[in-house]
Amino acid sequence: MNEFKQPFALGQKNDAYADYFTGQSYISVLTLEGVPSFNITFEPGCRNNWHIHKGGGQILFCTAGTGWYQEEGKPAQKLNPGDTVNIPAGVNHWHGAAKDSWFAHIALTVPAESAATEWRGPVSDEEYNKL
Ligand code: MN
């Protein structure tokens, strides 16, 4: 058990999505009714692969630690507690922790017919270490 302080539960190791992350992440299901919502926690250096939310997009509510969000072709944006990120459907992007900090966000799936996530390749160490 780590000592990272955050308002929502750390949950379980995010094994189901391990193939799409670099480093260890954790997932806690907040609700599956109405608007499916999850608390995702990233250990320092952990980030997800480039990916696209098809159908309805995604909203992130940053709750603890320091992280990054980047859309393809744009500079990475530093994330702090209280930040909201609205990710339109179809935009290639990644999100994760800073290299020296744990990070947690709530991820909300915008309801839509045929909502799905299309996973692409990892964010390379070379790209990530420049941040
Ligand atoms: Mn996303």
What's the mean pLDDT when you consider all of the chain? 96
Domains of the chain, start order:
12-111+122-129 (2.60.120.10)
Query: What are 51's strand-pairing partners?
Result: 93, 119
pTM of the model: 0.95
The CA R_g of the chain, rounded to the nearest whole Å, is 14
Residue type, 9: A
- What residues does the ion ligand 1 have nearby, CB within 5 Å? 58
- pLDDT for residue 2: 63
Q: Checking phi first, is residue 65 left (phi over 0); if not, alpha (psi -120 to 50) or beta? A: left
- pLDDT for residue 59: 98
Q: How far is the CA of 123 from the centre of ligand 1 (A)?
A: 13
- pLDDT for residue 114: 86
- pLDDT for residue 115: 86
Q: How far is the CA of 46 from the centre of ligand 1 (A)?
A: 14
- pLDDT for residue 3: 84
Q: What is the pLDDT along the chain (131 residues), one digit of tens a residue?
A: 568 999 999 999 999 999 999 999 999 999 999 999 999 999 999 999 999 999 999 999 999 999 999 999 999 999 999 999 999 999 999 999 999 999 999 999 999 988 899 999 999 999 999 99
